[in-house]
Amino acid sequence: MANNFRNGSSHRSSLTKTDRPLSVNSNAKGAVKSKPLPASGLRKSSPASLGSAAAAAAAKDDAGVLGRVRVAVRLRSRNEEEMVADADFADCVELQPELKRLKLRKNNWDADTYEFDEVLTEFASQKRVYEVVAKPVVESVLDGYNGTIMAYGQTGTGKTYTLGRLGEEDKASRGIMVRAMEDILADVSLETDSLTVSYLQLYMETIQDLLDPSNDNISIVEDPKTGDVSLPGANVVEIRDQQSFMELLRIGEANRFAANTKLNTTSSRSHAILMVHVKRSVEGRDIAHSGENGNGTQMVKTLKPPIVRKGKLVVVDLAGSERIDKSGSEGHTLEEAKSINLSLSALGKCINALAEGSSHVPVRDSKLTRLLRDSFGGTARTSLVVTIGPSPRHRGETASTIMFGQRAMKVENMLKLKEEFDYKSLSRRLDIQLDKLIVENERKQKTFEDEIERITIEAQNRISEAERNYEDALEKERLKYQKDYMESIKKLEEKWILNQQKQGSERIMSGSKDYSSDVASNGKDSMASVVEELAEVKKLLLKETKSRKAAEGEVNNLKSQVAQWKRSEASGNTEILKLREMLEDETQQKNKLEGEIAILQSQLLQLSFEADETSKRLDRGGSANGPGSLDSLMTEVRNQQPKDSGNGEKASIAKLFEQVGLHKILSLLEAEDTDVQIHAVKVVANLASEELNQAKIVEAGGLSSLLMLLRTSEDETIHRVAAGAIANLAMNETNQELIMTQGGIRLLSMTAANAEDPQTLRMIAGAIANLCGNDKLQTKLRGEGGIKALLGMVRCGHPDVLAQVARGIANFAKCESRASTQGTKTGKSLLIEDGALSWIVQNANNGASIIRRHIELALCHLAQHEVNAKDMITGGALWELVRISQDCSREDIRTLAHRTLTSSPAFRAEISRLRIER
């Protein structure tokens, strides 16, 4: 017993000495690859919950993080009866909360010491108990993890007080259930999140609904895919506020009391289980907002389906841990007594098995352990509070309660985020976006057409109006000048006639007068009138000139107006041109959008497949299938077979696949855009990983298209994914022959020669390794350089690649050996001919067991035929065979090696020559 403390202490050695809450993750690995999560409203509070957000953030890693079950011990003070009855005896426990230790007295001078994650004295408030035991778990649940809070202890030590107290009369005494719901309600948003509760009782392996007691045979359903347990028969009540939850707890409590009275037992014999489901949508993360900015490409790149997180909180008020009196004093038969205890003792056994790291955990032995499979050794964050009393009379029960707690502290869980993609809403969103774009596009096109028509008409109107104005003005001017001119002429004529008449009459009247004076005076008169006339003509001319100038100005003015009209007509034309260009741009944009929609569809397919794969990988999680394990490529492929064709995700992929159609996907392989090609080839590779689809793909020409990609594409991702798809298709004999006849080996060898990425090489090596296992193709495969290609890939040195190469060689050697035995092959092994032996010998003792095992097998196959013996001896293979026959961990290989060595005369001779001990 004395070393119990040491056990406890060594277990806690990774914790620092500072006072840390139960939530702090003791495992340093948890910090790897952490991504910050959005801060939740709850994070504000007590120092006790510090660090839990970081731990939860650390848990974001897909693979999960280690999270040990945290255990607190809570001591109840003496009750009245104990105060009287045990007045003369000291308490059997002593607490040292600052050291997180508890001493259990054996007698007056000796005690055992135990260490816990938290030691809560009889003075610990309910608030403090909530904060150290439950709050970190509640926060994890709000972040999308499963969580469990459980109380274990003897009847009367305070389990129900700790968990289930409603505290209506005294707020300070509110228990964990009530406080947990308060925190949850404060953090969720009821518009976007959903919050539901079920409340159950488990008694004698029967589950009864505490919210509907007539429903008393509820069965547990396990999802074979995820391992999640659920109770589809239980009432699920949506919670909208604290009052409705309190009401629900009251109803549950009353029903529990009534049911137990009817069964003639006490509630201390049954387990009460409260389940709270919190489903939250994660908004604002990489969600594309396109349309407003019209940046379609950006939209494609950041496209991610919205995410929902589903956390489940389970609060378990266990039955009393005391041993039931098997004599049946409570009125039960022995069988009943066993059944009453079954779940609790099964829980004890599971925790023992987990604490000891045993390979078998008897989870299926009881309903309770099936319900709690995620809580212990699963993916939930789990807190256990063990309750004890101080009375020395119950020392035995108290000791066993403490031991239960100590063992539970050794249980490691692997916390995992319960996050899913919400494809339905993504698809809905894409549909809406698409429709919006279509409407917008159509609307714009219409507006442009109308605008062009309007401008054209307006321009034509303006031009004809200008032409009309110009002609009118010209005509008016012409008429005016004509009139003016005629009038001037008329005036001049009149004047001239008048002058003529005047001169004639004057000449007649003065005929007898002095001619010379006559002439002189007459000359004077006519002179004056001519001058006068001249002045008048000049004046007229001046006027004429002026009005001509004005007319010219007017004409110029009109001309410039016409020019202006002409210019505006030209600018109207350029505007039309501009609009035309815009229209063309718009059409181009539309085409681009259509291309992007095609990418979106293929991406959506891809995302669906990836999610499918991820969920399958999660499904496999924890099974011994490490990346380097035997035939990892094949296992991967096999694991991709549908396990449950009825599930929704699968159906949605099938639907998408149907909608898009295989031919369309295959045609995308020839797209010009590399991105599209990559998406398409990924989709094809995913499809090819399922046996069901392989025939369809080959039939539709997919194999040829994939081989064509190896030939034509220069993109390494395309090479890698295409080779992976070919490797998958190459699992089937008919396809293997097709690959050969279509020159697949040469293409794969060529791709391998240029590839640098180990994963590409691994896929190619895997494909060739599959072909190596076909008896009919041996000669051809070798003739086209298959073995040389395999050997060439060892340059990369990556263990995954080497494993595939080794597998290929083992496959080849096996077929060869078979052919030799049947007499269809004579002569030395083609592997030896192609120089593989030295690599085989070098790697026969490779540190990676998977590589070693393939090579060991290959060596045994080669050694079975005497023709190979000489080369094997000179090449050093004999030594390896001797080693295999002595130390190989697999007995069948060891025996095979031994038998081979004994039956070959050449080996026997060499062994005895060298006097090797066998």
Binding residues: 153-160
Give 162 or 829: the residue with its C-beta nearer to Mg ion. 162
Give 160 or 864: the residue with its C-beta nearer to ligand ADP. 160
Site for Mg ion in 141-200 (CB under 5 A): 159-160
Nearest CA to 298 out of 600, 586, 588 is that of: 600
Distance in Å, CB of 325 to ligand ADP, minimum: 17
Nearest CA to 207 out of 268, 134, 267, 272 is that of: 272
List beta partners, residue 70.
383
| Residue 688, both tokens | 């090819």
Residue 644 CA neighbour count, 13 Å, CB half: 12
Residue 602 interface partner, choices ligand ADP, Mg ion, none, CB cut-off 5-8 Å depending on type: none
Residue 846 interface partner, choices ligand ADP, Mg ion, none, CB cut-off 5-8 Å depending on type: none
Dist CA 333 CA 331 (whole Å): 7
Q: How far lies 917's CA from each of 565, 709, 864, 900, 912, in Å?
A: 114, 55, 21, 16, 9
Largest CA distance in the chain: 192
Q: Are 290 and 218 in contact (CB under 8 A)?
A: no
DSSP H/E element including 105: strand 101-105
Residue 148 interface partner, choices Mg ion, ligand ADP, none, CB cut-off 5-8 Å depending on type: none
Distance in Å, CB of 891 to Mg ion, minimum: 56
Give 129 or 633: the residue with its C-beta nearer to ligand ADP. 129
Residues 6+ apart with CB under 8 A from 190: 240
- Point out the annotated binding site for ATP: 153-160
Distance in Å, CB of 848 to ligand ADP, minimum: 54
265 makes contact with Mg ion (CB under 5 A): no
3-state class (DSSP) for residue 386 = strand
Distance in Å, CB of 158 to ligand ADP, minimum: 3
Distance in Å, CB of 388 to ligand ADP, minimum: 10
Distance in Å, CB of 248 to ligand ADP, minimum: 19
Closest residue by beta carbon to Mg ion: 160
DSSP H/E element including 275: strand 271-282
DSSP H/E element including 352: helix 334-355
Nearest CA to 278 out of 168, 150, 173, 188 is that of: 188
Closest residue by beta carbon to ligand ADP: 158
Q: How far lies 300's CA from each of 433, 478, 633, 811, in Å?
A: 12, 72, 31, 44
Q: Are 309 and 139 in contact (CB under 8 A)?
A: no
Distance in Å, CB of 151 to ligand ADP, minimum: 7
Residues that bind ligand ADP (CB under 6 A): 76, 79, 153, 155-161, 268, 320, 387
Distance in Å, CB of 79 to ligand ADP, minimum: 6
Residue 153 interface partner, choices Mg ion, ligand ADP, none, CB cut-off 5-8 Å depending on type: ligand ADP
Dist CA 24 CA 15 (whole Å): 9
Please report how the helices 849-863 and 799-822 are oriented relative to each other, as an axis angle in degrees rounded to 10. 20
Give 317 or 856: the residue with its C-beta nearer to ligand ADP. 317
Dist CA 412 CA 353 (whole Å): 12
Helix-strand-coil percent breakdown of the chain, rounded to 5? 60, 10, 30
Q: Tokens 């969720």 appear where?
A: 188
Dist CA 859 CA 511 (whole Å): 166
Distance in Å, CB of 162 to ligand ADP, minimum: 7
Residue 157 interface partner, choices Mg ion, ligand ADP, none, CB cut-off 5-8 Å depending on type: ligand ADP
Give 76 or 277: the residue with its C-beta nearer to ligand ADP. 76
Q: Are 27 and 66 in contact (CB under 8 A)?
A: yes
Residue 430 CA neighbour count, 13 Å, CB half: 24
Give 324 or 681: the residue with its C-beta nearer to Mg ion. 324
DSSP H/E element including 454: helix 423-509
Give 67 or 158: the residue with its C-beta nearer to ligand ADP. 158
Give 169 or 756: the residue with its C-beta nearer to ligand ADP. 169
Q: Tokens 């999270």 appear where?
A: 67
Backbone angles phi, psi at 39, to 5 degrees: -65, 140
Distance in Å, CB of 316 to Mg ion, minimum: 11
Distance in Å, CB of 154 to Mg ion, minimum: 10
Give 316 or 731: the residue with its C-beta nearer to Mg ion. 316
Distance in Å, CB of 89 to ligand ADP, minimum: 19
Residues 6+ apart with CB under 8 A from 889: 849
- Number of residues counted as binding Mg ion (CB under 5 A): 2
Distance in Å, CB of 367 to ligand ADP, minimum: 20
Give 200 or 781: the residue with its C-beta nearer to ligand ADP. 200
Give 161 or 839: the residue with its C-beta nearer to ligand ADP. 161
DSSP H/E element including 115: strand 111-115
Give 153 or 773: the residue with its C-beta nearer to ligand ADP. 153
| Residue 110, both tokens | 């000796």
Q: Are 618 and 418 in contact (CB under 8 A)?
A: no
Residue 158 interface partner, choices ligand ADP, Mg ion, none, CB cut-off 5-8 Å depending on type: ligand ADP
Give 162 or 352: the residue with its C-beta nearer to ligand ADP. 162
Give 306 or 320: the residue with its C-beta nearer to Mg ion. 320
Residue 623 CA neighbour count, 13 Å, CB half: 13
| Residue 271, both tokens | 């387990």
Dist CA 688 CA 858 (whole Å): 29
DSSP H/E element including 315: strand 307-317
Residue 441 interface partner, choices Mg ion, ligand ADP, none, CB cut-off 5-8 Å depending on type: none
Residue 156 interface partner, choices Mg ion, ligand ADP, none, CB cut-off 5-8 Å depending on type: ligand ADP
Amino acid at 621: G
Q: What angle is formed at CA 846 by the lines to CA 845 and CA 852, rounded to 5 degrees?
A: 80
Dist CA 50 CA 529 (whole Å): 127
Q: What angle is formed at CA 752 by the lines to CA 750 and CA 753, rounded to 5 degrees?
A: 65
Residue 343 interface partner, choices ligand ADP, Mg ion, none, CB cut-off 5-8 Å depending on type: none
Q: Where are the beta strands (DSSP E) in 154-191?
A: none
Distance in Å, CB of 268 to ligand ADP, minimum: 5
Residue 849 interface partner, choices ligand ADP, Mg ion, none, CB cut-off 5-8 Å depending on type: none
Name the residues that contact Mg ion, by CB under 5 A. Answer: 159-160
